[in-house]
Structure 1
Amino acid sequence: MHQLTYGDIKAAADRIAGRIRPITIAPVDPGAIRTAHRDPLDDREPEPSQVWLALEFMQHTGSFKARGAQNFIQAHREAGTLPDAGVTIASGGNAGLACAWAAQQQGVRATVFLPETAPQVKVAKLRAYGADVRLVGSEYADALAACETFAATTGALPSHAYDHPLIAAGAGTLLEEIHQRIPGLDTVVVAVGGGGLFAGIATAAQHHGIRAVAVEPENCRALNAAIEAGHSVDVTVDSIAADSLGARRTSSMALHAAQQDNVTSVIVPDSEILRARQALWDHRRVAVEHGAATALAALTSPPHHRADRGLPSSRTTTSRSYCPGNGERVAVVLCGANTDPSDLVLGPDER
């Protein structure tokens, strides 16, 4: 398996320049995020941490997936390996939307497979991007099998939601932009599902000497379990954020990135994900996916959730929250907003 390199991310950045929306950065109000207790041996002047939100949910199709999809199709076009049959993917989520959008942008056919139970709103969105939507079976596995058969019989190029170096490299361009926008960035905090976004961001972060914090729901922890085992393993998927972070197994690229220096794995409960998502609505009028709120939950979870421990199979540490240190400069990636906002509660004076 090709392991991601910083060169892959730089190539992706050049390839998709001008084809995606650049990141928007918003500072968090001073004092809104608690800072860790100072080390008594730290003789530096006390300095509050600084936290920024990276508003990637404003990206085309509403998520970071547009970066990887654009890089995937453009790279194959440059290499002359883009077939007449176009691209195909089995996904009714952000990856399918991004694939259909990128294909439409480049005049490429896209065939997207979904189970017959897929919500009509997703089908309509995909068709609006010009995709040929095929509804097959009652489960995602049925749609995936049909997609694989279609690719084998027509020669269409199969894409993947996260486990492909071109997809992950495209996602990693996000960190390049954040790094340029926030000089002296110390830490990037990102939610993890299958690991494509984390693999890209952590690889770029490693190059720049930036800490990467990988955040997962406690009942949806494919990467954390892989770090603990030393290899990818299947995990139970049961979380409010499972629609976007519900990978049963992490990618080898993500595990490799997590086993490098300066990585922290954070596990948060669903209750804190819900609280962080509501807080973004209350204070910013931002409606993000539960998966996006998962990243912020690492910083807003109460201190009593913290329980640091080293993992024997890796240099990575794991915890229940992340508290920025003295003067630490932190970027939190809000990666997507394809969500139903009807469950976000208005205060009594806002109704």
Structure 2
Amino acid sequence: MHGLTYDDIKAATERITGQVRPVAIAPVAPGTIRAARPGPLDDRSGEPCEVWFALEYMQHTGSFKARGAQNFIQAHREAGTLPDAGVTIASGGNAGLACAWAARQQGVRATVFLPTVAPEVKVARLRRLGAEVRIVGAEYAEALEACTEFAAASGALASHAYDHPLIAAGAGTLLEEIHARIPGLDTVVVSVGGGGLFAGVATAARHHGIRTVAVEPENCRALDAAVEAGRPVDVPVDSIAIDSLGARRATALALHAARADDVRPVLVPDSDIARARQELWDHHRIVVEHAAATALAALTVPDPDRPETPSDPGHGYRPSGGERIAVVLCGANTDPSDLVRPAAD
């Protein structure tokens, strides 16, 4: 099985620099994340861990997906392989938004297929971007099937929400920017759906000697199941983060990246995802979707050090003392009305 290479990430960086927003980095107040795990950084065991938020939700269209979409369409533009019928994609929402945005930048038509679980806020934004929106099925997989049939019938170029080397390489450019902004970075924490963001980030991180923590909801564990089975397999999906992390199976690219020694897979329950999302609003005035909060949930679960058993593979990631960590807040296409208004200071 072949995975992405660092050359793929470098090529994507050269292609999209100046076309996407450079990621903003924000330090988290010392002591917010506890460092209580002995490990490879024991020489810094007396120091608090250092945490930064990578504010990628401020990217064009509200998520990291703009990077992969821009890389995909520009690469096809350069190769002369953009058809008159335009591009088409199936998406939980964010990849569709990115595809529609990148297509408009290049003067190309976009047809986007969404499942019924896609939030209305994403549907409305897609239409404002000029995309033709088609809502099909209750799950992403059903929308993908309809998109595949449309591409075959219309001649439109089929993009993918995550399962394409150009899409994953574009996502990996995010880690290049994070690495340049945080000297001595040890670990990057990223949420995982189908695995495009994870595969790109982990590939770039490995080149720089940075650990990747791959975080999934307990009931959307496509990558975890693929690692266990040794191949991508279908899994049931049921999570509050299903609109972005509800892929039924992980990609071969993601599985290849997950097999590296510098990758730590983590599962988190929905209750901790909801809690992390609320904490981002309460303490940082950051409004993100549940997929973005999934990454932070790995660092804030109540008891990440409880013993592992076959039925409970362990949850959360407890940093070592002095560990320097970047948490990717990957998207903000959400309805904030379910966030509890915090008490006045």
**Bin for the TM-score computed over the shorter chain:** over 0.9
> Would you say 1:321 and 2:287 are equivalent positions?
no
Stretch deviating more after TM superposition (111-120 or 153-162): 111-120
Residue 52 of structure 2 aligns to a residue whose secondary structure is strand
Paired letter, 1:217 = P
Q: CA deviation at 1:157?
A: 0.4
Using the alignment, how far apart are the partners of 1:152 and 1:68 within structure 2? 22
Which residue number corresponds to residue 313 of structure 1? none
Q: Please give the residue correspondences for 1:1-351 in structure 2 after superposition, counting only pairs within 5 Å.
A: 3-38=3-38, 42=42, 46-114=46-114, 121-135=121-135, 143-303=143-303, 306-307=306-307, 319-349=314-344
Q: Which amino acid aligns with 1:269?
A: P
Q: Deviations over 1:63-84 (max 9, x none)?
A: 0000000000000111111112
Greater CA deviation, 103-112 or 59-68?
Answer: 103-112
Question: 2 CA distance for matches of 1:55 and 1:335?
Answer: 7
Cα separation, partners in 2 of 1:197 and 1:108, compared to 1, 3 Å: same
* Conservation of the 8 A alpha-carbon contact between 2:41 and 2:320: no
State the shift of 1:229 in Å: 1.7
Cα displacement (A) at 1:303: 2.8
C-alpha offsets along residues 209-236 of structure 1, whole Å, 9 cap, x if unaligned?
1000000111111111111221112112
Q: Distance in 2 between matches of 1:68 and 1:39?
A: 35
Instruction: Write out per-residue CA displacement over residues 86-143 of structure 1, whole angstroms, 9 at most, x where no aligned residue.
Output: 1111225101111000000111111223457866543331121121234556765554
Amino acid at match of 1:344: L
Distance verdict in 2 for CA 1:17–1:118, change over 3 Å = closer
Q: Secondary structure at the match of 1:214?
A: strand
Alpha-carbon separation, structure 1, partners of 2:39 and 2:122: 50
For residues 145-186 of structure 1, the C-alpha deviation after alignment (integer angstroms, 9 at most, x for no partner) is 332222112221001010000000000000000000001100
Distance across 2 between alignment mates of 1:82 and 1:265: 37
Structure 2 unmatched ranges of 5 or more: none
Cα distance in 2, alignment partners of residues 30 and 141 from structure 1: 42
Q: Which runs of 4+ in 1 moved over 6 A?
A: none
Residues 43, 324 of structure 1: alpha-carbon distance in 2 compared, 3 angstrom cutoff: closer
Q: CA, structure 1 residues 193+117, in 2 after alignment: closer, same or farther (shift >3 Å)?
A: closer
Moved more, 298-307 or 238-247: 298-307
Tell me how far 1:319 sits from its aligned partner.
3.7
When normalised by structure 2's length, the TM-score is 0.93
Structure 1 pair 122/330, CA: closer, same or farther in 2 (3 Å)? closer
Letter in 2 for 1:106: Q
Task: Tell me: CA distance 1:40–1:77, structure 2 relative to 1, closer, same or farther (3 Å).
Answer: closer
- Rounded to whole Å, the distance in 1 between the matches of 2:250 and 2:170 is 18
In 1, Cα distance between the equivalents of 2:277 and 2:327?
13
Runs of 5+ unmatched residues, structure 1: 311-317
Cα RMSD, aligned residues only: 2.3
* TM-score normalised by length of structure 1: 0.91
Q: Given residue 29 of structure 1, which amino acid in structure 2 is its aligned partner?
A: A
CA–CA separation in structure 1 for the residues paired with 2:211 and 2:29: 22
143 and 42 in structure 1: CA distance in 2 versus 1, 3 angstrom threshold: closer
Q: When the two structures are aligned, how many residues end up with a matched partner?
A: 343
3-state DSSP of counterpart to 2:325: strand
Q: What secondary structure does 1:303 align onto?
A: coil
Letter in 2 for 1:11: A
- Alpha carbons 2:50, 2:323 under 8 Å: kept: yes
Do the aligned partners of 2:92 and 2:243 also contact (CA within 8 Å) in 1? Answer: no
**Structure 1 SS opposite 2:67:** helix
Cα offset, 1:240, TM superposition: 1.2
